[in-house]
Structure 1
């Protein structure tokens, strides 16, 4: 879902802004300290990076090239950390910062890119640490190496598990947010997200795309006669009935009340009408039993076509809704599309005369 991607980016933007603020402050402090200690190249790198971070802090919430700036920030950032360990007279404690690489990588780059980025720079950091700081007694060297490698592997593992769980929880929450509680179908939010993908594909490949609006005929009578509980059961039955008769590439959503919206991709106008009308006929011939009470429902439907009737979901829904109410005026239990709209309009006008 596009919405999932956007929410993920918003989450990363906020994390990035906190990190940038920290780097700006720490960069100025460490550059001053290293200028004082005589580590001029390292101090210049830190000062330059602090200024670069300040620039990013100002644009990171609005930039459209977020992923590019993330890469341009993290790779030099980790290189500076490794270089700071390599510089003579640098403190052994600087290795602590290398252990933050997995956390930062996973938070900002995601699970896959974060894994490879953290693995590479952790390897570089551990290698430089051994080159600079491990010498002398072999037993102590082995203990130091095991501690360093184990702590680095633990940080990568924890970051990896955390990111997997975060992705699953985010997907679950977005799925719940896009699902109608009564019928289990997609809701309006998911319909809008799906339409963006369907429309983009239809426009790029010149393939047909139709929007269908179904409305249950005389549904109010079911609630009045049998109660709202039976009405809810009926809505769930109708939802399953229609869903069982559409393709996996189509999307059925509860639009509101007793209305359902259906996105049909890759079917010509004629084929789309035939499929929708077949659903209408089959539903008319089907009895739903509730507590030994047979219920028969019919639907009216309106169909609009991407391109001909508009290119936005609002325009297509409006046109489908107009044809739906034309079907209602025509006696209900029928389907209206662009091909029979004019015929039905003329017939209704003659009846009024």
Structure 2
């Protein structure tokens, strides 16, 4: 999974809280209406009682369920039908139809912008269609005035809900990017590394697949900064990040862990396959952009018979990288000595 497709933080929890509060309010209100209808309209009171039982079941699981969107849809459909059904079979009441106006707001709050827009479209057309039919039956001479007022009000509420959700998503996404992405390279930052690796290892366990972590360090980066300036150092980091993006798959995870160090997580990939990717694809992409830098790379694989913890896997890759870096420095020292001699 590339970093931009990661889920937004707390998005699920905010919708979970909205559904929890709305359930409590509507359960209490529906119980009250059910008691009032038990004498005037017993059959509808039984329907209301059945819906309340459904909502109580949703209320019981809403705090922990991973299928929050499904339960939100169940709530919206049941609440809409609860209002829509009596509207079709009893005399028209303005107060009853007014409950339809809250549907766009609930749809966007519980389902988000895209699915909320679809739910609002279906609900609004159904509500306005039923309203047209009832008003036409009662007084065809006033149907245009009434329909125009109701349609305008519905569109205004829909527009406000859509604009609010669109702006909210933009702000949340911007804050999410600021919190999780490295501003220089655009890769994920070290704050998200352990959580992402933990999830990747759990998925590898479930699928009995290998997983490889790669630690990358730019050789002589401090010398480059000291002799060529920090701007040149930043250019190298950005170039390496671009090469990593082009050389890897869409579902690989790329991080700048700090300074000149980078981490790559390769799901369903062995150490040997990861070495091939780095030695050929990454090297090729890097040579297209920058020929004057070298890398020290450490690899660590876990699975498929047993799995390391995220900390153990990172530590192993880090240690392997430093072994490569130490050998690189030793080789430079030997070359310098032979040159001087």
Distance 1:287 1:333, change over 3 A: farther
Deviates more, 1:208-217 or 1:140-149: 208-217
Residue 27 of structure 2 corresponds to residue 16 of structure 1: no
Residue 104 of structure 2 corresponds to residue 102 of structure 1: yes
Out of 127, 130, 133, which is 2:129 matched to?
A: 127
- 1:164-183 CA deviation, whole Å, 9 max, x = no partner? 34334333332222211344
In the alignment, is the contact (CA less than 8 A) between 2:184 and 2:238 conserved in 1?
A: no
Deviation of 1:59 after TM superposition, in Å, equals 2.8
- 1:279-324 CA deviation, whole Å, 9 max, x = no partner? 689989x999xxxxxxx76543211124278455433212111212
Report the equivalent of 1:240: 239
* TM-score, with structure 2 as normaliser: 0.75
Q: What SS class does the counterpart of residue 64 from structure 1 fall into?
A: coil
Report the equivalent of 1:174: 176
Deviation of 1:211 after TM superposition, in Å, equals 1.8
Out of 46, 60, 63, which is 1:44 matched to?
A: 46
In structure 1, runs of 5+ residues without a counterpart are 289-295, 335-353
Deviation of 1:4 after TM superposition, in Å, equals 1.6
Tell which has more relative contact order, 1 or 2 (C-alpha 8 A, sep 6+): 2
Deviates more, 1:16-25 or 1:305-314: 305-314
For 1:253 and 1:42, the matched residues in 2 are separated by: 58
- 1:141-161 CA deviation, whole Å, 9 max, x = no partner? 211122223333333343334
In the alignment, is the contact (CA less than 8 A) between 1:186 and 1:254 conserved in 2?
A: yes
- 1:253-303 CA deviation, whole Å, 9 max, x = no partner? 21123321123567764464355457689989x999xxxxxxx76543211
In the alignment, is the contact (CA less than 8 A) between 1:17 and 1:57 conserved in 2?
A: yes
Deviation of 1:237 after TM superposition, in Å, equals 1.9
For 1:159 and 1:320, the matched residues in 2 are separated by: 48
Aligned residues: 322
Q: What SS class does the counterpart of residue 303 from structure 2 fall into?
A: coil
More helix by share: 2
For 1:47 and 1:206, the matched residues in 2 are separated by: 47
Distance 1:274 1:126, change over 3 A: closer
Report the equivalent of 1:344: none
Q: What SS class does the counterpart of residue 247 from structure 2 fall into?
A: coil
* TM-score, with structure 1 as normaliser: 0.73
In the alignment, is the contact (CA less than 8 A) between 2:239 and 2:286 conserved in 1?
A: no
Report the equivalent of 1:79: 81
In structure 2, runs of 5+ residues without a counterpart are 332-341
- 1:227-265 CA deviation, whole Å, 9 max, x = no partner? 9xx447514523423532651525432112332112356
Q: What SS class does the counterpart of residue 182 from structure 2 fall into?
A: coil
Deviation of 1:192 after TM superposition, in Å, equals 4.9
For 2:56 and 2:328, the matched residues in 1 are separated by: 67
